[in-house]
Structure 1
């Protein structure tokens, strides 16, 4: 395996080698009221000598929390995607900052997050959920910022666009699995890497057959045994779509062929992923399940943040288990490999169709197994894309629009047939 071209995420390359290590980094947090964002805010507040947040963005559904974050962090700008959230946000900010104090600038609308991602800062943490994070990802890269990437969808649906803009070392992955691979890959050159091993908790349905899964409910799927996440990503963990997306992400981040990326089930979620080298050595990155460690890596690299997350208590006995993936019950990973190899707009179709099917499942309009059955049909109908590396944002948006519409059509057809 060649050591060129340089992968998007490379622990051997430092994007800003002339940075003053004693100066606080200016950070922008996108998706600040979500799971990644709130933990990032906690990390920053505990490390004021390392980080200063200049701007926040959120969807706009939790303006009270957003105003509280803006006040505690003393940010310059706050952005919301929903235009109707601007007025209540300003009111909430006045309540926090007081009647006479200067308020942060408020941006509102679908391009607000993209605007703050392009603003002055050192690092942009993209913690937005879904492919709407693509435009802010591209804006941050184009502006020359370090990108701490938790929004895997933007890389998956816009891989060639991201690769065209990103400089070596400019992206630091924040997903726990890819942060683990990033750290393990520091042990040797890419030419000595034999395999990436991505771990999966197995979700709430580990060990169940495909027939068993036909009867599970949304409440069952949302009961993740390890992580507390939003509903879409929690269902994606139950179907293992999330792991399929991570396989595509690993391929794009580290320029490793799909046949050298393996998924193994590890229920304890202690080992976040592993790298096997050509001499037979396997390096595993392990911590108790806590996203503040990967977030700290994304914000602080190449310097670690002391006590960012809990460490293991090695005086207590524990058992770590590993199991092969049941691809019959959980076909999402193999389907993701397929669309990853197709490239072009196929990953965008896969992701968009899945989001629509997850929504239908959560609303009782689709059985659990119907999620992947419908996504597979949409991907098959989409066929082999011809865009290749000439992919544009318009291509991605058009493919997503078609996939969402087709998934809704198929979901509605399934409902009608079930009621007939």
Structure 2
């Protein structure tokens, strides 16, 4: 089939590449000329394991092209996937829908024949119905230009798997041919027995927000238990292990630590609450505000632990921060807990040196006040405190004895529960961790 993808950020680029590898002819649209040039040359402008190889495969097949011409996209495509961003509005918990609305408004006047426009962006419930009206009003094809919603469930670091072998497909459709068209697009996935839920537009919109809200709640629950464990002397890791053995609860996302960040969970749960309040059901999701607050408190508590390890005063103290990305296997620093902690340490007078395997360039752009190093040993040289804030395997595997030779003081804060405290203490380190008394 002839597919187009509008927006070539993380979601759009991944979707375009994977659809081409599945065998569709894909034309991807963006206004960012540098990004388009990079992709057309085989360079993925963000870190995602395996995607550069997939991009080369798609380009070599001749099934993937890039353009900045919306008229060309409209003339080419049978199905148009909208993959633009929905960041948090400045000064509000709500979602900024200007990119999604702008994409539909720009595309619609060029749609002169029957086609399907499919939203993949995460949007507040009710957005699709409004966009369907906008599409019908602006498209020369009228009602023959249909709208559907197919929410994405990508995990950074696992985007290819989540596109080609997803845990589920959700197809939000109204009347018309949308269901048949989407089933044709995703025929290889359906043939592989990927579970598929076909539903209305509103339910499809809610699935992503509800899923992220549940995951955020589970993460914040175990971090709330970590606060209780710190106060009572209990062991939060043993507590989590015991809870995980209950198959009604399970162990996934039940890991205490610095909490969640990135470009999805924080802004999505806030937008979910905001929309519920607009609908008059804010009381039903009020607990999500506390979920958000618990997550923020973990960052403040980490700063406290580093300050304590530095002797109670951070002024002039060199602090080695291991990690900048919001999670391993990513270069995404949006709402990254590690960088918020690092910035707060800097603001208290510490000399903060950050190291990360993939995210340093992005971190330098967003946090120019911090210092950066190319290796853990370089970052730790002369440090009074080492803080593990993103649990990259490279940091888990650090030799505490070798690191101890370059620091000014053997004091570590493990904010991710990733280090073996016994091994580090045996090497002469003072170890503090979130959730430990």
- Asked if Structure 1 and Structure 2 have the same fold, meaning a TM-score greater than 0.5 normalized by the shorter chain, the answer is no
Higher RCO (CA-CA < 8 Å; seq separation 6+): 1
TM value normalised by structure 2: 0.33
TM value normalised by structure 1: 0.34
Structure of larger gyration radius:
2
